[in-house]
Amino acid sequence: MKIALMMENSQAGKNATVLNELQTVVGPLGYPVYNVGMSDENDHHLTYIHLGIMASILVNAKAVDFVVAGCGTGQGAMMSLNIHPGIVCGYCLDPSDAFLFNQINNGNALALAFAKGFGWGAELNVRYIFEKAFTTGERGQGYPLERVVPQQANAGILNQVKAAVTKDNYLDSLRAIDQELVKTAVSGERFQACFFENCQDEVIKEYVQSLLA
């Protein structure tokens, strides 16, 4: 599983801490982590709006399998990611959120709060969130187990509904966004390294290259 970590301007100063906890948890599993957002306050400037665009491009191009994002409350990042096709982002404040999202919703992104409640012992909470998100076995098995059949059915139906309401061509949806927003989202060096190294969709690759030309 390839994982992208992306953080925006308001919480960029915590990137090193969050990245360390994520790598500590998933490194032994052999999961590569791509730190594609801001690494500090002086890095390539991003908002949570850019994070949604970045997550969408990476996931739809099959450059990564899972995205860890967030902002001050986590709410903006969650909404920004969820408006895009192909993204199912959960809101995660504690380890039980990560476990239940993993088992019931089986999505491909998490939005964490990196300011609200991020106090003493916050790095431990982040580590335990990542443990529940990535080390609890097969995803989508339901909780409690006797609810697995309807939960799996509803997760599938939700994905079908999202696909229906975002049925237009994916690149058309990107082109409908202010192109300066998209260009800023894809202009970071680490984002580009992750994208161009792992992209499996030539059409999306050509579009990104055209923005950067």
- CATH classification at residue 155: 3.40.1400.10
Using an 8 Å Cβ cutoff, are 70 and 111 in contact?
yes
Q: Structural domain tally of the chain?
A: 1
pLDDT at 37 over 90: yes
pLDDT at 167: 65
Domain of residue 160 covers: 3-212
Cα 63 → chain centroid: 12
Q: Which residues on neighbouring strands pair with residue 70, listed in sequence order?
A: 112
Average the pLDDT over 38-56 and give the result: 96
Q: Is the pLDDT of residue 199 over 90?
A: yes
% of the chain with per-residue pLDDT over 90: 84
Percent of the chain with pLDDT over 70: 100
Q: How is residue 117 annotated by DSSP?
A: T
CA angle 61, 2, 8 (to 5 degrees): 80
User: Is the confidence at residue 133, as pLDDT, over 80?
Assistant: yes
Q: Which of 103-107, 108-112, 118-122 has the highest mean pLDDT?
A: 108-112
- Is-contact 102 139, C-beta < 8 A? yes
Q: What is the mean pLDDT of residues 140-150?
A: 85
| Element at 90 (helix H, strand E) | strand 89-92
Per-residue pLDDT at 206 exceeds 80 = yes
Residue 97, number of CB atoms within 10 A of its CB: 18
Identify the band that residue 148 occupies on the pLDDT scale cut at 50, 70 and 90: confident
For residue 133, the number of C-alpha atoms closer than 13 Å in the C-beta half-sphere is 32
Note the pLDDT of residue 158. Answer: 84
